[in-house]
């Protein structure tokens, strides 16, 4: 994947985990992205478990008060969540979710 200077990453995908990021930091933009994902999923007969979905506004965004829907169900807003081994928080911080201790004999 090649990133172009001045462009922001809008999605991160790993196995069955997907994180969407709206480049305009708007709930409406994120809703449009989710609608697109729902449309694509329906075309390829992929089911989406809305109960496992979360969404979060990061930083000083005033958009954290919005509501997101997927297939007619409300997506739960959160202040932090785990993604690929890190805890992401709504103030923009992240830290390892798991610390491994290696015992040397």
37 within domain boundaries: yes
67 within domain boundaries: yes
CA distance 92 to 79: 10
71 within domain boundaries: yes
CA distance 101 to 99: 7
How many structural domains comprise the chain?
Answer: 1
Q: What is the pLDDT of residue 74?
A: 94
Whether pLDDT at 105 is above 50:
no
Do residues 58 and 50 lie in contact, with contact meaning Cβ atoms separated by under 8 Å? no
Do residues 18 and 11 lie in contact, with contact meaning Cβ atoms separated by under 8 Å? yes
Q: Token digits for 18?
A: 């997907």
CA distance 30 to 24: 9
How far apart, in Å, are the Cα atoms of 105 and each of 43, 50, 69, 74? 54, 46, 52, 51
4 within domain boundaries: no
3 within domain boundaries: no
99 within domain boundaries: no
| Element containing residue 38 per DSSP (H, E) | helix 27-43
> What average pLDDT does range 62-72 have in this prediction?
78
Grouping H, G, I as helix, E, B as strand and the rest as coil, residue 62 is helix
25 within domain boundaries: yes
The per-residue pLDDT for range 11-57, each reduced to its tens digit, is 777 777 777 877 777 888 889 989 998 999 999 998 999 998 888 88
2 within domain boundaries: no
Please give the residue range of the domain that contains residue 29.
11-78
């Amino acid at each position: 994947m090649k990133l172009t200077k001045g462009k922001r990453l809008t999605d991160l995908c790993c196995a069955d985990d997907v994180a969407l990021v709206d480049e305009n930091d708007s709930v409406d933009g994120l809703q449009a992205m989710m609608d697109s994902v729902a449309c694509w999923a329906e075309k390829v007969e992929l089911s989406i478990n809305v109960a496992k979905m979360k969404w979060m506004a990061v930083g000083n965004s005033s958009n954290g008060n919005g509501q997101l829907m997927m297939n007619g169900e409300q997506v739960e807003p959160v202040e932090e969540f785990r993604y690929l081994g890190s805890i992401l928080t709504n103030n923009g911080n992240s830290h390892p979710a798991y610390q491994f201790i290696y015992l040397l004999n």
